[in-house]
Amino acid sequence: MTSPPNRLKWSVIRALLGTVGRTSKGIRTGYRHGFDSGTMLDYVYVNQARGLLGIGRLIDRVYLNAIGWRAIRARRDLLQEVLRQEIARRPGREVFILDVAAGPGRYLQDLIAPYPPGRVRVLCRDLAGPGLWQGERLARERGLDNIAYEMGDALAPRVPPEGPPDIIVVSGLYELLLDDATIQKSLTHLHTLLAPGGTLTFTTQTHHPQLDFIANVLPNRNGDLWVMKCRPAEEPESWALAAGFTATSTRSENLGLFTVTTCTPA
């Protein structure tokens, strides 16, 4: 239970963030779409301070430099590196990637842009329309016709009409789920969707120094306070093995808040 002094502290911080803080473009984006949304994540990836007058840009730079957002960008970099390695393991043919909770999928657009036509194809799914529409618009502007967007539930994904994917990505989702059994069920289901020789790649949040601040101040996409759960990487690894995957490999980004795990099915 939160003590009265802490309740007062969080109330003051919420009031400041909801007033002066809104001069920051990033904080306004968080209040509009949810601080856990794909649209917010896309803003963090771009990492360009914007806001009203000088104070708004200054607040935005402080906001974007928060350790959690710096770790998110480091997680993106590590995830892209892992995916490039997975693509390289499949030479001479097109590689099909499905991200089940992609939002705008900017990191995937950056990933596939250097590849020649016919080498990589991506499907981005999400339940939040604004993120998908933002991704579609960005892909058109960049001339990328090998990435598609559609509505879809990350916890009940179906095999795409194009066939089973070579790589399935679950990035930034499992840390938002408080129920362990939901993640275990997801891993079991995703195991059945992969093409032969396919790979599942997922992220885990193992540590975060600002969990109390986030859980008491920042609203999520549903308008509730954003509560996250940290887990040791070994825990979802063991769930993946129980789901039928035969091998796992986990790497940590350089700030030590997130890991990226790859799994291969039997």
> What digits encode the pLDDT tens for the residues 175-213?
999 999 999 999 999 999 999 999 999 999 999 999 999
C-alpha gyration radius of the chain: 19
Which residue from 173, 102, 164 is spatially nearest to 131, judged by alpha carbons?
Answer: 102
Q: Which residues contact 212 (CB under 8 A, 6 or more apart)?
A: none
Q: Tell me the whole-structure pTM to 2 decimals.
A: 0.93
Q: Tens digits of per-residue pLDDT, 21-49? A: 999 999 999 999 999 999 999 999 999 99
Tens of pLDDT, residue by residue over 47-94, are 999 999 889 999 999 999 999 999 999 999 999 999 999 999 999 999
Q: Are 120 and 144 in contact (CB under 8 A)?
A: no
* Range list of H helices, the chain: 4-18, 25-33, 38-46, 53-64, 67-88, 106-112, 129-142, 180-193, 211-217, 234-242
Positive or negative: CA dihedral 51, 141, 127, 41: negative
